[in-house]
Amino acid sequence: MSAAESASAIPAAPREPLVEMRNIRVSFGGVHAVDNVSVDLHAGEVVGLVGGNGAGKSTLIRALSGAHPADEGEIYVSGERVSITNPRDARTYGIETIYQTLALADNVDAAANMFLGREITTSLGSLNDAAMESATREVIGRLNPNFKNFKVPVKSLSGGQRQSVAIARAVHFNARILIMDEPTAALGPAETAQVRDLVTQLKAQGIGIFLISHDIHDVFDLADRISVMLHGKLVGTVDKDKVTKDEVLAMIIIGKRPEQVSETEMATLIN
């Protein structure tokens, strides 16, 4: 465990996973959106979660973030069984999420969004806006030195600036586990590069990241392992170093592990 926490050493994946989701099942009215899926994540590791539309990856991760608890299955954080029924629970275990839609309240400013639900209060219980603003300036300043508009509603900010707020919110509160849902979907190349740098930084700090993406190239750049889902089931989890992009594509579309795919199927797929 100390290997992961020491900042100087390149972290070797410790034996015990940071997060383990076992036999997760989520149903919506009789349909299994997630059917008996097990994934895990180690400290300092990025696990890419990929799959087509409706594969169930968002639903699986919402069970971890507390947005929609699982119907069956268990979740373990650092080896301990935990119960996550709402977003607050997830936060207590150091799980932070950057949602695809960013989940920002458009009518309030960056500081209010940063601290939404866990505001800094004075001894009388009033909001300490000054402290929150100060902390926000600091955190966002490190992420995005060009960010200036701290007092305007976030609705007026650009896509990249809004992303900065969402990211700052996720990293400020000592997250150990970060969930990133389509983080680069709405970003241009410069901002995408920033996100990549951030992920590398966070990995070095020993934070474990679940990265959901439909973009194979992004996933291959960032992830250490890749878990593929199709129709609610887990097709398989592979080490990035041991597969090609086409093989992963095959897993996504056909649902077969690399060793199961025939040459003809592979040929049809590539063309």
Work out how close the CB of 86 gets to another protein at its nearest, in angstroms, rounded to a whole number.
7
Q: Is 73 in the site for another protein (CB under 8 A)?
A: no
- Tokens (6 digits) for 139: 């955190």
Kindly indicate which of the ranges 116-124, 202-210, 222-230, 235-243 contains the residues binding another protein, using the contact rule CB under 8 A.
116-124
Among 32, 137, 214, 257, binds another protein (CB under 8 A): 137
Q: In angstroms, rounded to a whole number, what is the distance separating the alpha carbons of residues 174 and 177?
A: 9
Which tokens sit at 229?
Answer: 């889902």
> Would you tell me the crossing angle of helices 159-172 and 129-143 to the nearest 10 degrees?
110
Report in angstroms how near the CB of residue 162 gets to another protein at its nearest: 12
CA atoms within 13 A on the CB side of 94: 14
DSSP characters for 109-138? -HHHHHTTTS--B-TTS-B-HHHHHHHHHH
Task: Tell me if 186 contacts another protein by CB under 8 A.
Answer: no
Q: Is residue 138 within the footprint of another protein (CB under 8 A)?
A: yes
- Is 130 a binding residue for another protein by CB under 8 A? The answer is yes
By CB under 8 A, is residue 185 in contact with another protein?
no
Closer residue to another protein, CB minimum distance, 170 or 202: 170
Residue 200 as a binder of another protein (CB under 8 A): the answer is no
51/61 Cα distance (integer angstroms): 13
Contact call for residue 125 and another protein (CB under 8 A): yes
Which residue from 16, 119, 215, 221 is in contact with another protein, where contact means CB under 8 A?
119
Whole-angstrom Cα distance, residue 165 to residue 145? Answer: 12
Q: Which residues bind another protein (CB under 8 A)?
A: 65-67, 86-88, 91, 97, 99, 101, 103-108, 112-113, 116-119, 121, 125-127, 129-131, 133-135, 137-138, 141, 148, 153
